[in-house]
Amino acid sequence: MSEINMNQSFAAGAQNNEKNYFFPLAAMTTLFFLWGFITVFNDVLIPRLKSVFDLNYTEAMLIQFCFFIAYFVVSLPAGNLVKRLGYQKGIIIGLVVAAAGCLLFYPAVIVHQYWVFLTALFVMASGIVILQVSANPYVAALGTPKTASSRLNLAQALNSLGTTLGPIAGGMLLFGAGSAAVVEAANADSVKVPYLVIAGCLLAIAVVFAFLKLPTIEAHIETEDCKVKDKNLKEAPHLMMGVVAIFCYVGAEVSIGSFIVNYFAEEHIGGLDAPTAAKLLGYYWGGAMVGRFIGSQALKYVAPSKALVFNSVFVMLLLAATMLTEGNVAMVSVLAIGLFNSIMFPTIFTTAIEGLGSLTSKGSGWLCLAIVGGAIIPLLQGVVADTMHIQISFIVPLVCYIFIAWYGLNVVKLSKQWHDKIA
């Protein structure tokens, strides 16, 4: 009953203004598409720079480490920034910072130093962190709380469209036409134009958002009679376990995507060259896109926690097949993981911030901080791949999905504990 009382006024306002939310939601989807496109570009950048700088797997995974470590460094300050300035200004700042990171790729190519590329990735990622801290809770709040998971899944589907097109565009731009001679001749210069174009798009969208009039989410503004005013985020067990679940999910998803191109190059798996493997990588992220469109409808009728358990169990089965089989079976198994990954991030996110009220922006910061899993898990898998074998290394993300399944089984109970505290 306390949960109903907490959300009653916000839900009523959302229903009365439902028609006014179409345009804000449409505007936000451009952000989800862009940061999906940018993030997955790393999966193609890894084999490109691995070849240019003659890196081992662990060194190559520093690309993901430097990109996703920004979530650990920037998320909490970003949460405070958004709480102070609001979602719209947070979005504009995030776009400008991300564009600055993209522009740094130009001097990185000129000096031809690996650490400069890593620095550019960190700056770019810092902007995307601010975007995520602003955009995820904002989209979740643009409507009734009951359909928050469905709404965020729909927005994330556009994110997956970006991650689907990213590897295809990246494969063409970073590896040329795909012939062995072109690939061999390519060097770090091939990254300049793509990132300059992305920077231009980000700055253009920042200008557009500066002139938009987006609705204010009153339920996320702290007032004297706010029930969560004197509460600490650490008292919300569903949020704290959600932080761990996001860490595991993002780490596993990014790690699997990061290794697919090199995994498909193994003779007993596919023996594919980098451009061909990069094109197939689009099926991994494309599966997530399809799954999110399906999930945005299914989650109107299926409990988010049950959907999370169902999908995580299927991913574990597919990972087992990836590790134990060869050839087409192994390739199809690892690509199919994307379909079942689909609903996990938005579902974990919305269940973790449910009922936080005016603490939502800070809670979003905590959850985005956990995206640092994308830095840690690929690095761990890289170490296992170097010391043992790339196929065996998929045991690292397998462990992550075991925890995600546990979270799905227990999140309802954990959320009830929080509501009992604020009742």
Q: For 334-345, how does the pLDDT look when each residue is reduced to its tens digit (9 = 90+)?
A: 999 999 998 898
What single DSSP character describes residue 266?
A: S
The pLDDT of residue 96 is 93
User: What's the chain's Rg over C-alpha atoms?
Assistant: 21
Which pLDDT tens digit goes with each residue over 191-202? 777 888 888 888
Determine contact, residues 380/64, Cβ cutoff 8 Å: no
Token pair in block for residue 373? 């899993």
The pLDDT of residue 20 is 62
Q: Give 176's pLDDT tier (boundaries 50, 70, 90).
A: low
Which pLDDT tens digit goes with each residue over 261-308? 889 988 899 888 877 887 788 788 788 888 888 887 888 788 888 999
Within 10 angstroms of residue 119's Cβ, the number of other Cβ atoms is 16
Q: Give 175's pLDDT tier (boundaries 50, 70, 90).
A: low
Residue 256 has pLDDT above 70, yes or no: yes
Q: 21-176+185-211: what fold?
A: Growth Hormone; Chain: A; (1.20.1250)
Determine contact, residues 233/366, Cβ cutoff 8 Å: yes
The CA distance from 283 to 55, in Å, is 26
Residue 185 has pLDDT above 70, yes or no: no
55: left (phi over 0), alpha (psi -120 to 50) or beta: beta
The pLDDT of residue 261 is 86
Mean pLDDT score of the chain: 80
**What b-and-e string marks burial along 310-320, b requiring 16 or more CB atoms within 10 Å of the CB?**
ebbbbbbebbe
CATH superfamily of 233-422: MFS general substrate transporter like domains (1.20.1250.20)
The pLDDT of residue 208 is 84
Measure CA of the first residue to CA of the last residue in the chain; give whole Å. Answer: 9
The pLDDT of residue 309 is 95
Q: Comparing 105-109, 224-228, 279-283, which segment has the lowest mean pLDDT?
A: 224-228
176: left (phi over 0), alpha (psi -120 to 50) or beta: left
**What b-and-e string marks burial along 91-110, b requiring 16 or more CB atoms within 10 Å of the CB?**
bbbbbebbbbbbbbbeebbe
The pLDDT of residue 174 is 65
- 2 versus 176: the higher-pLDDT residue is 176
Q: Comparing 231-235, 254-258, 367-371, 383-387, which segment has the lowest mean pLDDT?
A: 231-235
The pLDDT of residue 220 is 52
- Average of per-residue pLDDT across 129-158: 74
Which pLDDT tens digit goes with each residue over 296-338? 788 878 888 899 999 999 999 999 999 999 899 999 999 999 9
Q: Give 12's pLDDT tier (boundaries 50, 70, 90).
A: very low
233-422 and 21-176+185-211 share a CATH fold: yes
The CA distance from 385 to 397, in Å, is 13
390: phi then psi, degrees, rounded to nearest 5: -60, -35
The pLDDT of residue 285 is 79
- 166 versus 224: the higher-pLDDT residue is 166
- 170 versus 10: the higher-pLDDT residue is 170
Q: Give 5's pLDDT tier (boundaries 50, 70, 90).
A: very low
The CA distance from 252 to 411, in Å, is 20
- Average of per-residue pLDDT across 75-93: 84
pTM, to two decimals? 0.72
Q: Give 165's pLDDT tier (boundaries 50, 70, 90).
A: confident
- Average of per-residue pLDDT across 128-137: 82
E strand spans, 14-143: none
Highest mean pLDDT: which range of 35-49, 131-145, 301-315: 301-315
Contacts of 113 (CB under 8 A, 6+ apart): none
Residue 401 has pLDDT above 90, yes or no: yes
Q: What percent of the chain has pLDDT over 90?
A: 24
The CA distance from 388 to 377, in Å, is 16
Side-chain half-sphere of 332: how many Cα atoms within 13 Å?
A: 4
- Average of per-residue pLDDT across 45-68: 78
